Amino acid sequence: MHKGLAIYPGSFDPTTNGHLDLIERGAKIFEDLVVAILRNSEKSPMFSVVERRDMLRELTAHLKNVRIDTFDGLMVEYAKSLGATCILRGIRAISDYEYELQMALMNRKLEPTLETVFMMPADKYSYVSSRLVREVAQAGGPVKGLVPEVVEQKLREKLAIGKQQRETRSIEILDRIDLGGKELNPKETKRKKKA
Ligand code: PNS
Q: pLDDT band at residue 169, thresholds of 50, 70 and 90?
A: low
Q: What gap in Å lies between CA 87 and CA 4, rounded to an integer?
A: 11
Are the beta carbons of 30 and 4 closer than 8 angstroms?
Answer: yes
pLDDT of 159 strictly over 80 = yes
Q: What is the dihedral of CA 10, 14, 16, 22, to 10 degrees?
A: 20
CA distances from 64 to 73, 86, 118, 121, 193 (A): 27, 19, 22, 20, 52
74 CB near ligand 1 (under 6 Å): yes
Averaged pLDDT of the chain: 90
**194 pLDDT higher than 70:** no
Output the CA 81–ligand 1 centroid distance in Å. 16
Does 161 score more than 90 pLDDT?
no
Residue 113 pLDDT grade (very low, low, confident, very high; cuts 50, 70, 90)? very high
pTM of the model: 0.85
Greater model confidence, 16 or 44 = 16
Percent of the chain with pLDDT over 70: 82
Pocket test for ligand 1, best of 103, 116, 117, 133 (most atoms within 8 A of CB): 103
Measured CA distances, 38 to 16, 29, 72, 93 (Å): 16, 23, 6, 23
- What is the predicted pLDDT for the residue at 62? 97
pLDDT of residue 96: 93
- Model confidence at 42, pLDDT cuts 50, 70, 90, reads low
Q: Which atom of ligand 1 is nearest to the CA of 104?
A: 22
Nearest-10 crossing angle of helices 75-82, 94-110: 70
Ligand 1 midpoint to CA 10 (Å): 6
Give the atom of ligand 1 at the shortest distance from the alpha carbon of 103: 22
Q: Would you call 92 a catalytic residue per the annotation?
A: yes
Residue 183 has what pLDDT?
55
Q: Is residue 100 very low, low, confident or very high in pLDDT (cuts 50, 70, 90)?
A: very high
Start-end of H helices in the chain: 17-29, 49-59, 75-82, 94-110, 130-138, 149-178, 186-194
Amino acid in the structure at residue 50: V
Q: From ligand 1's centre to the CA of 64, what distance in Å?
A: 25
Q: Is the pLDDT of residue 166 over 70?
A: no
The catalytically annotated residue of 53, 89, 130, 134 is 130
d(CA 103, ligand 1 centre) in Å: 8
Known catalytic residue at 130: yes
170 is catalytic: no
Ligand 1 contacts CB of residue 110 (under 6 A): no
For 52-88, write each residue's pLDDT tens digit.
999 999 999 999 999 999 999 999 999 999 999 999 9
Q: What confidence category does residue 192 fall into, taking pLDDT thresholds of 50, 70 and 90?
A: low
How far, in Å, CA of 114 to CA of 117, rounded?
Answer: 10
Q: Which residues pair with 117 in a beta bridge?
A: 88
